[in-house]
Amino acid sequence: MSIIKSYFDRPGSLKRAEVCEAMNITQGRLSQLRDSVDWPPELALKMESVTGGAINASDISPLVAKARATGVAA
């Protein structure tokens, strides 16, 4: 199960439409990314922010994970 699907299945999580609106993306774009573990860093960081850290940007973007591991700003 994808990290994103797991998030939306949790009680109290934001709805897909709410996340998309907050991230300024379409639901279609979210569907494209849903099962990916190679998100663009800017979207991964937005997702982390919108979900209050429930989804860690490092888990969905290798570039964010690498930057955080090396201490470089993503």
The per-residue pLDDT for range 25-46, each reduced to its tens digit, is 999 999 999 988 899 999 999 9
**Domains of the chain (ranges plus CATH)?**
3-70 (1.10.260.40)
Quote the longest CA-to-CA distance of the chain: 34
> Residue 37 has what pLDDT?
86
Mean per-residue pLDDT of the chain: 94
Give me the residues of the chain with pLDDT under 50, please. none
The one-letter amino acid at 16: R
- Other Cβ atoms closer than 10 A to 19: 21
pTM of the model: 0.89
